């Protein structure tokens, strides 16, 4: 394994993340556009995943190879979808009050630096630990969770996007496909992906006695915290309550989807 700055390449990954986000921030300020914000996050993930895997120089690192491919594909799909969606819209309401103030706008990019680095930590560890014990049950559970999460997230995003593009659905609650059984199937998918990634760290950290790496569990926990209590469901349901749930019957009906 090639170690750059630190043994597990965590510091390198953080520096790569800071550089990418600041570069996109500079471009966003110059163009006064937030359209590449989500794409910058997705690209950042992919570069960190591939860089840490290649630096491992371990052709037999089956765990790292499978994990890197799965999460890179998931981030590619999500980044591409979010880029297409934002380009097809007038803008992103999250940044309405920040585009004219570079200092305020920078806060969003600093947050994304922290988000990307923390969420990517299980993959960085698996690729950078230098150890690849034989695959075990926790790995297969992890790979399965990532696969399930990818499917849920992709299907949910495509179904809702198609639902919203149909003029006849204006003002209606999306209740087609996976949205008929879950209020937030896309968030469920995202949470599954990062719990799956964490599960793949278990055997390497036990094999090397590097129990300090248990901190990478912060990846799925932070994902759950954000989506359940901060920027995911609270924002989505706050907007939905105003736009779609106009009667008591609407509210009761929506709760049945959870």
Mean pLDDT of 192-212: 93
Helices (H), ranges, the chain: 10-31, 37-56, 62-87, 102-128, 137-165, 185-199, 202-208, 218-225, 233-243, 248-255
Contact (CB, 8 A) for 40 and 91: no
Q: Flag whether pLDDT at 98 surpasses 90.
A: no
The dihedrals phi and psi of 6, each to the nearest 5 degrees, come to -130, 160
Q: Flag whether pLDDT at 202 surpasses 60.
A: yes
Q: What is the rounded distance in angstroms from the CA atom of residue 80 to the CA atom of residue 43?
A: 10
Question: In this structure, what DSSP letter does residue 74 have?
Answer: H
* Whole-number pLDDT of residue 234: 66
Q: Flag whether pLDDT at 256 surpasses 50.
A: no
pTM for the whole structure: 0.87
Contact (CB, 8 A) for 121 and 219: yes
Higher-scoring residue by pLDDT: 246, 52: 52
């Amino acid at each position: 394994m090639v170690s750059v700055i630190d043994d597990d390449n965590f510091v390198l990954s953080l520096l790569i993340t800071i550089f990418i986000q600041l570069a996109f921030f500079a471009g966003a300020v110059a163009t006064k556009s937030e359209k590449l914000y989500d794409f910058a996050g997705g690209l950042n993930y992919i570069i960190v995943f591939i860089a840490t895997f290649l630096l491992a120089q371990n052709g037999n690192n089956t765990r790292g190879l499978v994990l890197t491919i799965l999460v890179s594909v998931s981030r590619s799909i999500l980044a591409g979808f979010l880029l297409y969606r934002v380009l097809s819209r007038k803008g992103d309401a999250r940044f309405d009050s920040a585009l004219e103030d570079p200092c305020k706008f920078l806060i969003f990019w600093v947050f994304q630096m922290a988000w990307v680095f923390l969420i990517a930590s299980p993959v960085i560890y698996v690729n950078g630990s230098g150890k690849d014990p034989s695959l075990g049950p926790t790995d297969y559970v992890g790979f399965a969770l990532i696969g399930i999460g990818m499917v849920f997230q992709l299907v949910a995003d495509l179904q809702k996007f198609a639902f919203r593009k149909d003029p006849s659905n204006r003002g209606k609650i999306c209740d087609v496909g996976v949205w008929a059984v879950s209020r937030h199937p896309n968030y469920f998918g995202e949470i599954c992906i990062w719990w799956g990634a964490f599960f793949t760290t278990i055997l390497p950290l036990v094999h090397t006695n590097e129990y300090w790496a248990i901190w990478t569990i912060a990846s799925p926990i932070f994902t759950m915290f954000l989506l359940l209590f901060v920027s995911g469901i609270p924002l989505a349901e706050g907007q939905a309550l105003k736009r779609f749930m106009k009667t008591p019957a609407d509210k009761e009906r929506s709760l049945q989807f959870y």
